[in-house]
Structure 1
Amino acid sequence: MSKAKFIYDSEVDSLMVYKEKKRIYGNISLGEIIVGFDAEYNIISVEILNPDILFNIPKKVLESINSVSLEWQNRKSLILIKINLVLENKEEITIPITLPVEKPLAA
């Protein structure tokens, strides 16, 4: 998995996971999940609005995130994203996200 940076804002209940020093070229918004891409269509950021409701993760748990990693795979008509959260108590939580796409992404 690729190390990533994160910001969790408990007031607006938003979790942003991103790769540092990467520039967003475009994004796809599917409801409460926004995925950012670079110019080569690599995923470089994922923002989840209301992760406590969407993935049933309490806000107190989200506030205790210590580190994150981001992994993705392009599978024909699907993009599979896996965000791994490591909490202060060393517990790990995986957030799986599946995005349907009409055409495979290619640079």
Structure 2
Amino acid sequence: MSPKPKVIMPTDEEDAAINRGIAADSDTYEVPAGDFAKMKRVGARGRPRLEKRKVLLSVRYDADIVEQFRATGDGWQSRMNDALRQWLDQHGGKAA
């Protein structure tokens, strides 16, 4: 038997009772299909896209280095990125 919980669907009678309760609720408003089709999403969702997107990468670092960056709090990965960029700038790399 799967440890995943199973969804128990309501019977027709239970479903009808649920729908009657929804219809009786004065706070419930069902948007007509015509109005729903006219609706548009307001604004963009999520973070704004970066001009230069970052690359998802799997890298291995020494544990003590990662611990020190993590100890600096939230944003440690960005600080690690900045440290690598600074190293490239100092050593003639082409970080832009």
Scaled by the length of structure 2, the TM-score of the pair is 0.24
Question: Quick check: which has more Rg, 1 or 2?
Answer: 2
Kindly indicate which of the two structures has a greater share of residues assigned to strand: 1
Scaled by the length of structure 1, the TM-score of the pair is 0.22
Higher relative contact order (CA 8 A, sep 6+): 1
